[in-house]
Amino acid sequence: MLVCGGEVDEVKVKFDTSSLGLSKWYEYAIRFVFGGMITALTGIIAQRYGPEIGGLFMAFPAIFPAAATLIEKHEKEKRERAGLDGTMRGRLAAGIDAAGAAMGSIGLMVFALIVWQKLPSSSLGLVLAGATLAWLTASVMVWELRETLCRRIRARLGAASGHRFHTAAQRGPSTHRRLDE
């Protein structure tokens, strides 16, 4: 634990279909309804108050509370099946998801910037595809950057003082990793 090296901290992104079994049909329905509602609402607001106001709502966290609650619920259930109280664990998982959303919103800024600048002069499909790709690239880059930085900090703290590293490891991103595994 004390000499936790770089190679242990390597976090792999992977597909995992096991979480699909946890979700019930109405959980998909909820997200569909919330997503549909905010899209319709954005259209109505844009029509009534103009595109400058309506545009804001394209980045409104409408399904966020629902999604976060679902994550909390799943994580809690997982823990409770093991016979433990999962309340704190669920909140932590939702928090980590939110941290991811914060990084993703940097990608969203890139998306908006590209659409704003490029849409009037190029084709719609091309701009949307390009901007979505840019969103993904930017988000993943920010995420990678953060992972690398966290790993470095952890490694340095570990080298400087065992005690400090220990607390950092408990609080810091490595808790995220433990949670994911």
Q: Which of residues 19-38 bind other proteins (CB under 8 A)?
A: 19-20, 23, 28, 31-38
Q: By the 8 A CB rule, do 46 and 55 touch? A: yes
Asked whether position 168 contacts other proteins by CB under 8 A, the answer is no
Asked whether position 101 contacts other proteins by CB under 8 A, the answer is yes
Q: By the 8 A CB rule, do 136 and 114 touch? A: no
Q: Any residues with CB less than 8 A from the CB of 177 and at least 6 apart, and which?
A: 9, 11
Q: Which of residues 35-74 bind other proteins (CB under 8 A)?
A: 35-40, 42-44, 46-47, 51-65, 67-69, 71-72
Could you say which of 9, 139, 151, 169 contacts other proteins (CB under 8 A)? Answer: 139
Q: Name the segment binding other proteins (CB under 8 A); options: 77-85, 127-135, 152-160, 161-169.
A: 127-135
Could you say which of 1, 2, 7, 15 contacts other proteins (CB under 8 A)? Answer: 15
Q: Which of residues 144-163 bind other proteins (CB under 8 A)?
A: none
Could you say which of 9, 158, 173, 174 contacts other proteins (CB under 8 A)? Answer: 173
User: Which of helix, strand or coil describes residue 13?
Assistant: coil
- Measured between alpha carbons, how far is residue 46 from residues 26, 37, 131 in Å? 30, 14, 21
| Rounded Cα distance, 83 and 79, in Å | 7
